[in-house]
Amino acid sequence: MSVPALEVRDLSFEYPDGTPVLRSVDFHVHPGERVALLGPNGAGKTTLVLHLNAILQPGEGSVTVAGLPATDDNTHEIRRRTGLVFQDPDDQLFMPTVRQDVAFGPANFGVEGPELEHRVMDALEAVGMMEVADRPPHHLSLGQRRRVAVATVLAMRPEILVLDEPSSNLDPASRHELAHILQSLDITMFMVTHDLPYALELCERSLVMDEGRLVADGPTAEILGDRELMRAHRLELPYGFDPSLVQPH
């Protein structure tokens, strides 16, 4: 068995006032897998994501990325290994130009000169955004900004790409373009989403989280087809959508 790209063991976390957010969360993701994390608002999904990047430290339990435990000593390297794409591209893209924004991550890890330029162009090419390299991020459409946000972490050559609500607020065409790009990437992926058809389209496996606990883990089509499970955890398929009728990729 290969070393898991991501291993979360018995992870618990509570707010300073004692409210538990994560309760003994336990799962792993193998290299090359694409996993969706589903669950209602307030389930603890974003809190879990912030642990994967060592922005939050576990109260109990552990997070390991490609064999490296997320301890204080390893924080910097963990952040390179886990490429985290935030929900709002206006939070993610803060530099004056797209080129500088994509270069920000690798530059923080000591990449410079021609290698840095090469990484930036590679990442922008992967998301089809080469032509906007010298434009300020706030002049791009939301769909373009989201794609550039993905490029900003691809440039760090992470072990795992973690996306928080990648399809939120996108128009159908941009949503489709982003799905196409994500499918074309040869990388392990962990995606938090409320967009259940998107999970089915992009991820062969899904986890369901509710009230800080993992309550289901299995093939996406089976989870979305389990009406009782879906109803119990406030997951709702779009009107008329039947996962059993969708052809697998």
Partner 1 sequence: MKTAHVHALYVHGKSPVHDLEAHVKVAAMLLFVFAVVATPREAFWAFAVDAVLLAGAVRAARIPVRFLFGRLLVLIPFVLFAFLLPFLGGGARTEVLGLSLSIEGLWGAWTILAKATLGVTASIVMAATTEVPDILLGLDRLRVPRLITAIAGFMIRYLDVVLGEMHRMRVAMLSRGYDPRWIWQGRALATSAGSLFIRSYERGERVHQAMVARGYQGHMPVFNSGSAPVGSWARAMTVPSVAWVVTIVSLLT
CA dihedral 87, 92, 98, 104 (to 10 degrees): -140
The residue among 145 and 205 lying less far from partner 1, judged by its C-beta, is 145
CA dihedral 91, 95, 96, 100 (to 10 degrees): -140
Residue 202 has phi, psi (to 5 degrees) of -105, -25
Cite the beta strand spans of 82-212 per DSSP E: 82-85, 160-164, 188-192, 205-210
Binding mask 116-155 for partner 1 (x = CB under 8 A): ------------------x-xxx-------------xx--
Q: Is the dihedral of CA 156, 160, 165, 166 positive or negative?
A: positive
The residue among 99 and 146 lying less far from partner 1, judged by its C-beta, is 99
Burial bucket for residue 92 (CB in 10 Å: 0-12, 13-18, 19+)? buried
Q: How far apart are CA 149 and CA 101, in angstroms?
A: 9
Q: How far apart are CA 42 and CA 61, in angstroms?
A: 21
The answer to whether 115 contacts partner 1 (rule: CB under 8 A) is no
The residue among 12 and 100 lying less far from partner 1, judged by its C-beta, is 100
Stretches 88-96, 187-195, 209-217, 233-241: which one binds partner 1 (CB under 8 A)?
A: 88-96
The answer to whether 169 contacts partner 1 (rule: CB under 8 A) is no
The residue among 96 and 218 lying less far from partner 1, judged by its C-beta, is 96
Q: Which of residues 64-83 bind partner 1 (CB under 8 A)?
A: 76, 79-80, 82
The residue among 119 and 205 lying less far from partner 1, judged by its C-beta, is 119
Interface residues with partner 1 (CB under 8 A) are 50, 53, 55, 76, 79-80, 82, 84, 86, 88, 90-92, 94-97, 99-100, 103-105, 107-109, 134, 136-138, 152-153, 156
